[in-house]
A and B are shown apart, each in its own frame.
Chain A
């Protein structure tokens, strides 16, 4: 087995500078490693760091590591993964992407249907509204039906084991939106405005709403990583994450089509005539939908693989 070759470069005043440059390149390569899934990093991270140290220059390895990170997330090597870990991580990804999309869809509904705007003679937009409404409802039901047993399982365990921090994390999905809604109600009563909220307040509340959603997501994800639940509740949540993600992607897609339709055919309505804003909206929903789809695929695949592995271990039934 060959060992690393001696450094053939001459010694001198430039050596310290080269070492410093190499150190920063090496740090870059190590940073690139952080783009990989935790299980992959745990398995190959040290070896790759050793390879980079042995090879000298780290710029090319860093670049190649960045290039190969995405395929590893999409097609994770099966031998590496603790299926439950994989499912928990994917459920977390879906939860974040789902919440972002659900929030975006609700804002879309607020800025279209709740304003009483239904352009006559444009059935595509009207149909899109119906699809958004139905898909958001199906998605929310799937998320609740699949997530509730896991949430209850973790809550019971956290209480049984006297872990107040985990209980707090698990209650964040109730506390954060509840606090946001209370603040919204109080403010809207204190600040009178002829028609609903002023645009500035609407923007402020939208941002605060996304903050509340982020906190509501972060709580259960943190609790999952600390409590590491296993079993049927995780499997159910993984499969529900797939269903919820699929339907929220449909909702986001329909809202995107409706936004394009409004941009093309209803230019006098709201800000939908501003192409840049519509393009930004489409970019955000596309990115969130991609994250949701990726997480859901991984979660479903992990759930199915576990079932397959159990069936194999159990052997043929007689």
Chain B
């Protein structure tokens, strides 16, 4: 996604990227977990724990799911045996792509500056 692209906005006109920043990592982790396929709550916690090393508690996970769903960044699918999968929406994919690009930019900048100051091993 191009850097200059307009940020998606919610129903109140607020820039969703900025709003997402305010409550930091867990929403991004959930969006990242749902980026490849739909998952239910337990599968999300397992995926986030295994791939990103973060354990999301039930309270945190469903607070995030409720917010992401309210903002239209994820959507629920039909429940199977009490477990309801969620999948990322196009708006959610856009937000995730924008955030990932920003994080990648920050990460590469940090790596480069650390390398300049401390050498390749310092980064």
Q: Report yes or no: A47 in contact with B70, Cβ–Cβ below 8 A.
A: no
Q: Report yes or no: A64 in contact with B60, Cβ–Cβ below 8 A.
A: yes
Q: Report yes or no: A65 in contact with B70, Cβ–Cβ below 8 A.
A: no
Interface of B: prevailing SS: helix
Which residues of B lie under 8 Å from residue A29 when comparing CB positions?
A: 58
Q: Report yes or no: B79 in contact with A64, Cβ–Cβ below 8 A.
A: no
Q: Report yes or no: A49 in contact with B70, Cβ–Cβ below 8 A.
A: no
Partner of B82, one of A3, A50, A77: A50
| A1 and B43 in contact, given A60-B57, A78-B70 (Cβ under 8 angstroms) | yes
For A312, give the chain B residue with the smallest CB separation: B11
Give the A interface residue count (CB, 8 A).
32
Which residues of B lie under 8 Å from residue A280 when comparing CB positions?
A: none
| Contact-residue bracket for chain B | 20 to 34
Q: Does A14 sit at the interface, judged by CB under 8 A? A: no
Q: Report yes or no: A2 in contact with B46, Cβ–Cβ below 8 A.
A: yes
Q: Report yes or no: A50 in contact with B41, Cβ–Cβ below 8 A.
A: yes
Interface of A: prevailing SS: helix
A309 CB to closest chain B CB (Å) equals: 10
Q: Mark B31-48, 1 if CB is under 8 A from A, else 0.
A: 000000111111101110
Q: Report yes or no: A44 in contact with B62, Cβ–Cβ below 8 A.
A: yes
Interface residues of B in 17-60 (CB under 8 A from A): 37-43, 45-47, 57-60
Of A1, A61, A63, A77, which is in contact with the most chain B CB atoms at under 10 Å from its CB?
Answer: A1
Q: Report yes or no: A44 in contact with B45, Cβ–Cβ below 8 A.
A: no
Q: Does B88 sit at the interface, judged by CB under 8 A? A: no
Interchain CA distance A51-B39 in the complex, whole Å:
12
Q: Does B92 sit at the interface, judged by CB under 8 A? A: no
Which residues of B lie under 8 Å from residue A72 when comparing CB positions?
A: 63, 66
| A55 and B45 in contact, given A47-B82, A79-B69 (Cβ under 8 angstroms) | yes
Q: Report yes or no: B84 in contact with A77, Cβ–Cβ below 8 A.
A: no
Q: Does B65 sit at the interface, judged by CB under 8 A? A: yes
| A50 and B83 in contact, given A1-B40, A2-B47, A61-B57 (Cβ under 8 angstroms) | yes
Chain B residues packing against A (C-beta within 8 Å): 37-43, 45-47, 57-63, 65-67, 69-70, 79, 81-85
Chain A residues packing against B (C-beta within 8 Å): 1-4, 29, 40, 43-44, 46-52, 54-55, 60-61, 63-69, 71-72, 77-80
